[in-house]
């Protein structure tokens, strides 16, 4: 399938390259980019491929040196995705894909396959907080009958860059600035937005990154995507393109930005604790597993290139077929041995699954293996229990190496050999029929460092994503851009980004400029004119996820003298809907209810702020409320719940506290003296109509 999308175009070595990105071309020999060994580079933007849309070539020593150096920059912490949380579980296939693949994990309906799933942030180190605005990793290790399958993806279906050779530059830009080592786990700084402005191919991903998708409510409430385009191969070696999707049973939900910031201070382990406690309590997280399938002809007919990782395939064009389900039902026994030592490799695929020529994926095939060699210190990292295949044996003639943990037997460590004992074969042998085979795809074209013409449109999908969002989400996205760019000290960096935004949506660019109080610059040149694509409603969050208390958390703030009957009525009502309940009291020892009964507390008011919950109920006595009026933590508890658009149930005695917190009556502020069940409906969602009253958005 080479070049069926058009002739390639060069993306570097000019003042304005493919997509309008600016590159500084050397004017004198002593300023030229070189390899570590002094060889001058002619192109630092594109890996070497067999034709513009062909696979990346192993001989590309420039790509290998750059990524290998990048992979070995940290020891032993992961360079990216260092902050992770994980769990064990099972995957069950519900619909066979035997027409498209011979991989048993995708053909044997009802078969349960063990999995280990690791969620992670990207930019921060292992000691950073759980809730920054950041992409989240979503990596699944299937222990299949035919070897491990590692589906290493994110909670966003697209990526910042089109070619893996730019990955070290991207991560260097988003990490702490090199001279000062801050900010940690944040993209709101000059180096990141400088890179973004110079690389228009990042624009679509920036729309997702500035959306509510990157401040998730819970790891249990994130979608997952394989990001890259893969292939399925059937028994006849017929290939079908595939995109992989995870859909959370609880719906895809997010926090508010101010809420995420405050959670970071209240509980840096918020997501890790939430996942662990949900599994520990038996509320097992669950996802549906879906695929988008395309033939070569169907892929060629699309108005964009499916080998471009900055593009999404709208569900309206290619529906998602649900073919399985995954349940996480067991926490790790040891964080380091399992979560930290887990090694995920995109090259881990059973027969029947194969890669595409996506140049981002092609680089990942090398990079992940190289990273594990550095991080885990040995070629034998596959022998660590969490990384060992469980559904089948692993056997070959590779011996020795640092930290060999097995005791291989036999005289011969090569293949073929004829030195086996009588009646035995000479060790494991290849399986031409059932073993891994690659798709028989033909390629032509010269060896080139080029970007295909079909990769040149950097704005149409960004425009489609923005137009797919609700007005609420668009305002959040615009406000996020204002916040991030306001942290940039260089005016030309802000201007270049706004110039790119002009190609996405003129109103969005104007809102950002107004939020920064800066003149709106003209649109930057675009290598390909942006096209208007139909909005895709499945890309939005508001109005998509279910209004439910299932999997959510509710706090009941109580004081001495509170009505225990109301406390129990609220607790029973929300627990019946699948939520968890925490009793919060002024002191951790609990309270004495009206009538003298003691009520233990789950936490102290100052240590359990409302940002940790999805809804709050105030069940207080008049005397207790009077005491709370002198406690700023109590005022913040109520005020934050209101400005974060959460339902607030209350007894009449709590009215002075509501007044002090500037709570205005609306559908989400509920009197609990009637039927406590009336609190359930507003507690099951956010009060979006309240938002214009409590904050200014771009």
pLDDT digits (tens, 9 = 90+) for 174-219: 999 999 999 999 999 999 999 999 999 999 999 999 999 999 999 9
Mean pLDDT computed over 535-539: 96
pLDDT band at 97 (very low <50, low <70, confident <90, very high): very high
Q: Where are the beta strands (DSSP E) in 81-146?
A: 84-93, 112-121, 136-144
Count of all residues that appear for the chain in the document: 698
**402 within domain boundaries:** no
Query: Is there a cis peptide before residue 376, judged by omega within 30 degrees of 0?
Result: no
Of 3-12, 144-153, 317-326, 565-574, which gets the smallest average pLDDT?
Answer: 3-12
**486 within domain boundaries:** yes
Let me know whether 212 and 338 are in one domain: yes
Let me know whether 519 and 560 are in one domain: no
Contacts of 563 (CB under 8 A, 6+ apart): 593, 594, 619, 621, 651
**238 within domain boundaries:** yes
Q: CB of 668 within 8 A of CB of 690?
A: yes
Whole-number pLDDT of residue 277: 97
Given the structure tokens 């080029």, which residue do they identify? 450
**529 within domain boundaries:** yes
**134 within domain boundaries:** yes
CATH code of 675's domain: 3.40.50.880
Q: What one-character DSSP code corresponds to residue 321?
A: E
Mean pLDDT computed over 247-276: 97
Across 494-531, b (16+ Cβ under 10 Å) vs e yields bbbbbbbbbbbbeebbbbbbebbeeebbebbebbbebe
Let me know whether 557 and 496 are in one domain: no
Let me know whether 197 and 338 are in one domain: yes
Given the structure tokens 């000059």, which residue do they identify? 190
CATH code of 511's domain: 1.20.1370.20
Backbone angles phi, psi at 185, to 5 degrees: 55, 40
Last residue of a domain, one of 387, 421, 440: 387
Whole-number pLDDT of residue 424: 55
Whole-number pLDDT of residue 672: 96
pLDDT band at 76 (very low <50, low <70, confident <90, very high): confident
Exposure on the CB side of residue 104, measured as CA atoms within 13 A: 15
Whole-number pLDDT of residue 22: 47
pLDDT band at 5 (very low <50, low <70, confident <90, very high): very low
Let me know whether 146 and 256 are in one domain: yes
Last residue of a domain, one of 501, 517, 539: 539
Mean pLDDT computed over 253-273: 97
Q: CB of 698 within 8 A of CB of 516?
A: no
Let me know whether 65 and 173 are in one domain: yes
Query: Measured between alpha carbons, how far is residue 75 from residues 79, 372, 514, 528, 698 in Å?
Result: 8, 10, 44, 42, 42
Query: Measured between alpha carbons, how far is residue 289 from residues 243, 244, 246, 323 in Å?
Result: 11, 8, 5, 6
**127 within domain boundaries:** yes
Tokens (6 digits) for 559: 């004081």
Query: Measured between alpha carbons, how far is residue 290 from residues 17, 109, 526, 639 in Å?
Result: 37, 14, 34, 41
Residue 430 has pLDDT above 80, yes or no: no
Let me know whether 114 and 149 are in one domain: yes
Let me know whether 70 and 203 are in one domain: yes
**379 within domain boundaries:** yes
Let me know whether 256 and 133 are in one domain: yes
**393 within domain boundaries:** no
Write the secondary structure of 443-469 as one string of H (helix), E (strand) and C (coil).
Answer: CCCCEECCEEHHHCCCCHHHHHHHHHC
Tally of domains in the chain? 3
* Residues pairing with 452 in the sheet: 8
Q: What number of H helices and E strands is found in the chain?
A: 18, 22
Let me know whether 680 and 627 are in one domain: yes
Q: CB of 144 within 8 A of CB of 113?
A: yes
Q: CB of 360 within 8 A of CB of 112?
A: no
Q: Which of 204, 114, 111, 118 is nearest to 158 (CA)?
A: 204
Whole-number pLDDT of residue 1: 42
Whole-number pLDDT of residue 491: 98
CATH code of 201's domain: 2.40.180.10
Let me know whether 256 and 298 are in one domain: yes
Residues known to be catalytic: 81, 154
d(CA 666, CA 314): 37
Work out the end-to-end distance of the chain between its first and last CA atoms, rounded to an integer number of angstroms: 45
Let me know whether 227 and 288 are in one domain: yes
Domain that holds residue 460: 455-539
16 CB neighbour count, 10 Å cutoff: 12
Whole-number pLDDT of residue 425: 55
Q: Which residue has the higher pLDDT, 411 or 281?
A: 281
Whole-number pLDDT of residue 270: 98
Given the structure tokens 């997509």, which residue do they identify? 19
Last residue of a domain, one of 387, 419, 444: 387
Mean pLDDT computed over 605-622: 97
Of 63-67, 262-266, 568-572, which gets the smallest average pLDDT?
Answer: 63-67
pTM of the complete model: 0.91
Q: Degrees (nearest 5) of the Cα angle 82, 458, 244?
A: 50
d(CA 175, CA 373): 22
Contacts of 393 (CB under 8 A, 6+ apart): none
d(CA 154, CA 394): 28
């Amino acid at each position: 399938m080479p070049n069926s999308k058009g002739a390639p175009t060069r993306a570097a070595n000019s003042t304005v390259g493919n997509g309008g990105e600016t590159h500084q071309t050397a004017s004198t020999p002593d300023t030229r980019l070189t390899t570590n060994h002094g060889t001058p580079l002619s192109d630092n933007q594109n890996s070497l491929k067999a034709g513009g849309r062909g696979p990346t070539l192993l001989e590309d020593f420039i790509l290998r040196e750059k990524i290998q150096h990048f992979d070995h920059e940290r020891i032993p912490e992961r360079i990216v995705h260092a902050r992770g949380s994980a769990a064990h579980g099972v995957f069950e296939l519900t619909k066979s894909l035997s027409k498209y693949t011979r991989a048993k994990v995708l053909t044997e309906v009802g078969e349960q396959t063990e999995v280990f799933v690791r969620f992670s942030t990207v930019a921060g180190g292992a000691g950073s907080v759980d809730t920054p605005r950041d992409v989240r990793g979503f990596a699944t290790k299937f222990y299949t009958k035919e070897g491990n399958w590692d589906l290493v993806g994110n909670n966003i279906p697209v990526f910042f860059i089109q070619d893996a050779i730019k990955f070290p530059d991207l991560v260097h830009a988003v990490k702490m600035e090199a001279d000062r080592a801050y900010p940690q786990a944040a993209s709101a700084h000059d180096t990141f937005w400088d890179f973004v402005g110079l690389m228009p191919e990042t624009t679509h991903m920036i729309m997702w990154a500035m959306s509510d998708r990157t401040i998730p409510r819970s790891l249990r409430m994130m979608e997952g995507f394989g990001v890259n385009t893969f292939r399925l191969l059937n028994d006849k070696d017929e290939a079908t393109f595939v995109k992989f999707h995870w859909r959370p049973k609880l719906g895809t939900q997010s926090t508010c930005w101010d809420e995420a910031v405050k959670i970071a201070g209240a509980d840096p382990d918020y997501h890790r604790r939430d996942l662990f406690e949900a599994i520990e309590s038996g509320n097992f997280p669950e996802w549906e597993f879906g695929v988008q399938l395309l033939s070569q002809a169907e892929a060629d007919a699309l108005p964009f290139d499916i080998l471009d990782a900055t593009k999404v395939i709208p569900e309206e064009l290619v529906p998602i077929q649900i073919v399985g389900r995954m349940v996480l039902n067991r926490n790790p026994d040891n964080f380091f041995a399992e979560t930290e030592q887990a090694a995920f490799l995109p090259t881990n695929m059973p027969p029947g699954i194969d890669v595409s020529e996506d140049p981002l994926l092609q680089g990942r095939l090398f990079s992940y293996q190289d990273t594990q060699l550095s991080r885990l210190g040995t070629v034998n990292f596959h022998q660590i229990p969490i990384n060992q295949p469980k559904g089948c044996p692993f056997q070959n003639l590779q011996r020795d190496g640092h930290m060999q943990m097995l005791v291989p037997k036999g005289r011969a460590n090569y293949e073929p050999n004829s030195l086996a004992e009588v009646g035995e074969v000479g060790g494991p042998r290849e399986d031409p029929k059932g073993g891994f085979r690659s798709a028989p795809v033909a390629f032509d074209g010269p060896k080139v460092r080029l970007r295909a013409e079909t990769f040149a449109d950097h704005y149409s999908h960004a425009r489609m994503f923005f137009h797919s969002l609700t007005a609420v989400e668009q305002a959040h996205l615009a406000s996020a851009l204002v916040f991030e760019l306001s942290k940039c000290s260089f005016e030309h960096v802000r201007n270049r980004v706004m110039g790119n935004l002009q190609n996405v949506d003129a109103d969005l660019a104007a809102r950002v400029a107004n939020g920064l109080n800066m003149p709106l610059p003209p649109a930057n040149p675009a290598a390909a004119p942006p096209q208007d694509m139909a909005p895709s409603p499945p890309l939005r969050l508001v109005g998509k996820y279910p209004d439910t208390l299932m999997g959510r958390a509710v706090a009941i703030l109580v004081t001495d003298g509170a009505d225990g009957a109301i406390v129990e009525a609220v607790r029973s009502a929300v627990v019946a809907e699948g939520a968890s309940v925490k009793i919060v009291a002024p002191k951790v020892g609990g309270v004495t209810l009206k009538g003298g009964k003691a009520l233990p507390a789950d936490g102290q008011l100052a240590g359990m702020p409302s940002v940790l919950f999805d809804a709050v109920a105030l069940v207080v006595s008049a005397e207790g409320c009077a005491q709370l009026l002198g406690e700023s933590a109590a005022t913040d508890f109520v005020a934050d719940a209101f400005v974060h658009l959460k339902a607030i149930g209350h007894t009449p005695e709590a009215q002075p506290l509501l007044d002090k917190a500037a709570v205005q009556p609306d559908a989400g502020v509920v009197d609990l003296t009637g039927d406590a069940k009336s609190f359930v409906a507003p507690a099951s969602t956010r009060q979006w109509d309240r938002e214009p009253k409590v904050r200014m958005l771009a």
